Amino acid sequence: MGILDLFRRSPGGTAPNGAPVEFAPTFMFSAEDVNDVVSGLYALSPEKIYEKTSDLRTVLDFRARNFSQIGMHAFEMQSDGGRERVRDSVSAKVLKRPAPGMTWPALMWAVCLDFDLHAEAYLLFNPKVPALVHIPARRVSLTSGSWEMGDFKAAVSSPDGSKTVEVGAEALIPIRLYNPGGKSPMQTLKDVMAEQAAAQSFRLKTWQNGHQTNRYITRPADAPDWTPESRNRFVEDMRRFRSGGGSEGGSPLLEDGMQFKSDQVKATEDQVMEMAKLSRERYASAYGVTLSMLGSGEGVTYANLREYRQMLYSETLGSLFSTVEAALNSFLLPLADPGRDDLYLEFNLKERLKSDPADQAKIYQASVGAPIMTRNEARARENLPKVDGGDELITPLNVVTGSVASPQDTDGTEGQLSASGHREMVVPGKARGRSTTVDRKQSDVEAVESVLLSYFGRQRSSVLSELGAGATELDYERWDTELYRDLITVIPGISKRQTDALLNELDLDFTFDPVRARSERSLLADHTSNITTANINKFLKSADPAHDFDVIEATRSAQYADTIVTSMNNMRSVDVAKQGAKSLGGEAYKVWTTMSGDSRPAHAAMNGERAKVGEPFSNGAQFPRSSVLGPAGVANCQCQMIISIEG
């Protein structure tokens, strides 16, 4: 049942009020009909609109569902600048269980919905229980004072409206932002709803007033005369092809030039799908939600899910998180824990926004140069008991502090060896001749750059046209597929040349088997996905996408080409070394080497790191510029790799 069910007239029989109704078969939609729909809609409360409008409810429930998942913790500031989580304060207990019959997710769901419907929400704190409960905004009205000065008195009505209680700042916590005129956001959307409702009502009447057949048979006017016996025989024959007639699914034989005609009312002709999508898009945009988040958009892939998650908890819900957090810190803490100026409350957003735990551990270890978690801290995360001696950080023997450090504690410049120095370091004895620094040919980079420039030229024309027409989404699948198809025309040749060069440089005499090597197509797909995702997200958010295309064509295309060719060469080098070592009965090794004095800290810390071919470096990558490092770990990376075969 939708909004219009409140206003639709019965097509015949008995009206909702019991009066007999005789349906008038007309396709006209009168001004009175429009007024009935629109006036009835404007009379609805925000709660009724939420109840009756499925698209709006989808958007608001999506916001409330994701907002209510985030917990809030109480912290105590320490004298050394750190903080410690507090679990025994009144506010902390209230956050854990707001009321005897209320959970934190249920409370935040109500707060989010009320704020979206009324642009304000209210919480009531009872210090005697203690309890924090939600009061629907429709039951709260200001009677004296002002919200801003904190001297307010507000009337809170009972659910049935029969009683009111006056409450002040000693118990009521208002969650509000500036709202001109005090109008609900629903007032702004009612024009959109009225337009949608009128169009829906018109389509409904069209379908109701139309005849109930969807196919019929025509007989030419100049056909021979039909005797009653012939006509009755034909009708009886046709009835056998209906359900239960015995000839269902067969093909009737039509006589005298007869033809089947279709006269079915089609949803596509009335643009029902387009109207439904536009309706949901308008509601979603009003609340900062994209259709892709709701599962209605196009181009959503695993590669860009992280970007959508970042957007959800920043641009979409970020303002509400900060508003509720500020209100509880300003009004709840003084009521629940008076005199505790060292306490503050904070939403646990990091749990939602942080990256994969394995990636985080590698980033932290590379940045600080040592382990950051004790054994008991790790065991606590797995719900395991503490062990004796597990509260001390274990420092590996190859990690020291000072000016002379291990490869994991270097600033990237001191003690940095040249490429030839690395070669001497990793290639002992008789294997000295089987070592090479992996590099790329400039001609290969230029070939890939040429393909990219052609691709971005096509994309520029299409994307700017779509954005100029007001598009809020772009076809990710199309652009990712086109980029892959363009690049796959040149990548196999580059890979073949790199393979031949490596076999020569490593003095290897065996037939390289590409079937046992990693797929160049898979690596290319990772790169095209990263490039497409980053650029489409940028175009959609940019105030000047034309300038973004200028930057891509001027500099980014060359950077993309260099990254693709280098990572492709690195991958093929590892495969050649691995197969070559097996043919010689030896072992293949690789060394990460930084070629720039201002390398990013995470890469500089790896300068000189050595690993067996087939095993990842400490950052999880098999080679420099691997797609697993993400755009931030690949862009402008100048690191190289030395491979060798020993034994």
pLDDT reported for residue 12: 41
Identify whether residues 339 and 367 lie together within a single domain: no
**What's the rounded mean pLDDT across residues 329-357?**
84
442 and 344 assigned to the same domain: no
Grade residue 578 by pLDDT with cuts at 50, 70 and 90: confident
403 falls in which pLDDT band (50, 70, 90)? very low
CB 238 within 8 A of CB 216: no
- pLDDT category of residue 210 using cuts at 50, 70 and 90: low
Q: CA-CA distance, 304 to 340, in Å (whole number)? A: 43
Q: How far is CA 294 from the centre of its chain?
A: 9
Residue of 100, 101, 124 lying closest to 175 (CA atoms): 124
Against a cut of 0.75, is the pTM above it? no
Whether pLDDT at 327 is above 90: yes
pLDDT digits (tens, 9 = 90+) for 16-29: 444 443 333 333 44
Name the domain count of the chain. 3
Examine residue 638 and state whether it is found in any structural domain, yes or no.
yes
Most confident of 209-218, 369-378, 562-571: 562-571
Per-residue confidence (pLDDT) for residue 2, from 0 to 100: 39
The DSSP call for residue 613 is T
Share of the chain above pLDDT 90, in %: 19
For residue 90, give every residue at least 6 positions away whose Cβ sits within 8 Å of its Cβ, in sequence order, or none: 127, 130, 336, 337
Let me know whether 49 and 159 are in one domain: yes
E-strand ranges in 331-371 read 343-347
Q: Looking at residue 178, what is its pLDDT?
A: 78
Give the per-residue pLDDT at 428.
Answer: 35
Task: Let me know whether 167 and 20 are in one domain.
Answer: yes
Q: Give the integer Cα–Cα distance in Å for 108 and 405.
A: 50
Mean pLDDT across the stretch 589-605? 77
Tell whether 342 and 430 lie within a shared domain: no
Torsion angle of the four alpha carbons 459, 460, 462, 465, in this order, in degrees rounded to the nearest 10: 160
* Residue 168 falls inside a structural domain: yes
Instruction: Pick the closest to residue 459 from 436, 445, 475 (CA basis).
Output: 475
Q: How far apart are CA 562 and CA 542, in angstroms?
A: 25
Which of 104-113, 145-154, 586-595, 619-628 shows the highest mean pLDDT? 104-113
453 with 390, same domain: the answer is no
Residues 341 and 381 in one domain: no
Residue 607 lies in a domain: yes
Please give the pLDDT value at position 66: 93
Give the burial class of 629: count Cβ atoms within 10 A of its Cβ; 0-12 exposed, 13-18 middle, 19 or more buried. Answer: buried
Facing residues of 164 across strands?
Answer: 157
Q: Please tell me the predicted confidence (pLDDT) of residue 535.
A: 87
Amino acid residing at 42: Y
Strands (DSSP E) contained in 418-503 are 435-438
- Look up the domain containing 603 and give its range: 419-646
Nearest to 487 by CA among 523, 512, 518, 513: 523
More confidently predicted of 433 and 224: 224
565, 448 contact by CB (below 8 A): yes
365 falls in which pLDDT band (50, 70, 90)? low
Residues 323 and 371 in one domain: no
Predicted confidence band of residue 335 (pLDDT cuts 50, 70, 90):
very high
pLDDT in tens, 293-317: 887 666 556 556 667 777 888 888 9
Token pair listed for 9:
């007239």
- 259-262 and 215-218: which strand pairing? antiparallel
Min mean pLDDT across 59-68, 155-164, 201-210, 522-531 is at: 201-210
One domain, residues 91 and 142: yes
Please report the pLDDT score of residue 496 as a whole number.
83
324 and 467 in a single domain? The answer is no
